[in-house]
Structure 1
Amino acid sequence: MGAVILLVLLAAGVGLVLSGVGKLQTEVPTCYGRPMVPGDVCKARATGPVTDGMPVPSDTTYQEQLDALTSGGWTSVGLGLVLLALCVVIGIAWAAGAARTW
């Protein structure tokens, strides 16, 4: 049972790190479906009335769009590293406990 938990944590950690790194390397900011390049500004379109709780449309730069896209990648990498560290700590604790029983 303990080995299964360790393997699940390991797989989840590696998966999160890999997906985060992939997101950081492949995301391209777009403006209404068109790829943006550094220096571009995406002009917001008002498509209808802004309702309560909805953000007001605003212009965004290439860098703002890129930051919004890659923030999820960094979050994924960070969570994956935390899971991998937890996996190492649990593995060491279990190995130390097993060594004491011998």
Structure 2
Amino acid sequence: MGIVILLLVLAGGAGLVLSGVDKLNTAVPTCYGRPMVPGDICHPKVTGSISEGMPAPHDTTYREQLDSLTSGGLTSIVLGVVLVVLAAVIGIGWAAAAGRDRQP
């Protein structure tokens, strides 16, 4: 059972790294589904009142939208690398323990 969990953590980490790289390479900011180009500003569509404690919607530029996408990709890559390293450390630890148990 432990090896299955280890493989799932490893696969999840690899998946996060790949999705983060994909997001960095294909990131196109959008405004309500419409692709943005440099110089565009996305104006929020406010249809109701703002709830207490929620930030008021504000205009966002192409650069702000792109930065948001980029930071999401970087976060995904970092979390993926952490999971891959964690799986490797646990796997090496288990292998070392198994090797010690087999020695006379």
TM-score in terms of structure 2 length: 0.82
Gaps of 5+ in 2: none
Map of 1:52 onto structure 2: 52
Map of 1:84 onto structure 2: 84
SS at match of 1:56: coil
Give yes or no for the alignment of 1:12 onto 2:7. no
Structure-2 change in CA distance of 1:101 and 1:46 (3 Å): closer
**Range with greater deviation from structure 2 (73-82 or 42-51):** 42-51
**Range with greater deviation from structure 2 (8-17 or 51-60):** 51-60
- Partner Cα separation in structure 2 for residue 57 and residue 9 of structure 1: 37
Cα RMSD, aligned residues only: 1.8
Overall identity of the aligned pairs, in %: 67
Map of 1:63 onto structure 2: 63
- Residues paired across the two proteins, number: 102
SS at match of 1:13: helix
- Partner Cα separation in structure 2 for residue 77 and residue 33 of structure 1: 25
- Deviation for aligned residue 1:42: 2.1
- Partner Cα separation in structure 1 for residue 101 and residue 32 of structure 2: 63
Gaps of 5+ in 1: none
